[in-house]
A = this chain, B = another copy of it.
Amino acid sequence: MSRFAPRPDPPYYAVIFTAQRTDGEHGYGEMADRMAELASQQPGYLGVESTRDDAGLGITVSYWRTLADVSAWRRQWEHTAARNQGRAQWYSHYELRVAKVERAYGWDRGDGRSPGDGGA
């Protein structure tokens, strides 16, 4: 399964979540899997890209069709994070940015050129 999100024609929305994990698991993996599955079932979900290094710094970017889709997902995410009182266990710090994707490009070594630029 590709770890890259699809590249629909802009505009669409990106939620950029940069977070420093705490030490210890505290049920994080289970929660993250559940939230990823929940996100994929939300209206307007386009895809996600996520990675985390050995020092616990992770960046997850989820993509959404409209700002309303983003807002609905944010409310659900915050509700779940609050309900589980997990935020302070899972993270020491995070930044969350909502951004409108205006241009998108891709490149793959297989063909040496952009496989269908969107909105360039």
Q: Is A112 within 8 A of B97, CB to CB?
A: no
Q: Is B106 within 8 A of A94, CB to CB?
A: yes
Q: Is the interface of A mostly helix, strand, loop or mixed?
A: strand
Expressed in whole angstroms, the minimum distance between the Cβ of A81 and any Cβ of chain B is 10
Assess whether A33 is interfacial by the CB under 8 Å rule.
Answer: no
A side interface size, CB within 8 A = 42
Assess whether A75 is interfacial by the CB under 8 Å rule.
Answer: no
* Those of A36-56 within 8 Å (CB) of chain B: 49-54
Q: Which residue of B lies closest to A18 (CB)?
A: B49
Assess whether A20 is interfacial by the CB under 8 Å rule.
Answer: yes
B residues near A67, Cβ cutoff 8 Å: 102
Q: Is A4 within 8 A of B18, CB to CB?
A: yes
Assess whether A83 is interfacial by the CB under 8 Å rule.
Answer: no
The docked-state distance in angstroms from the alpha carbon of A38 to that of B106 is: 23
Per-position binary interface string of chain A over residues 1-37, scored 1 when its CB falls under 8 Å from any chain B CB and 0 otherwise: 0011101000000101010101000000000000000
B residues near A3, Cβ cutoff 8 Å: 20, 57
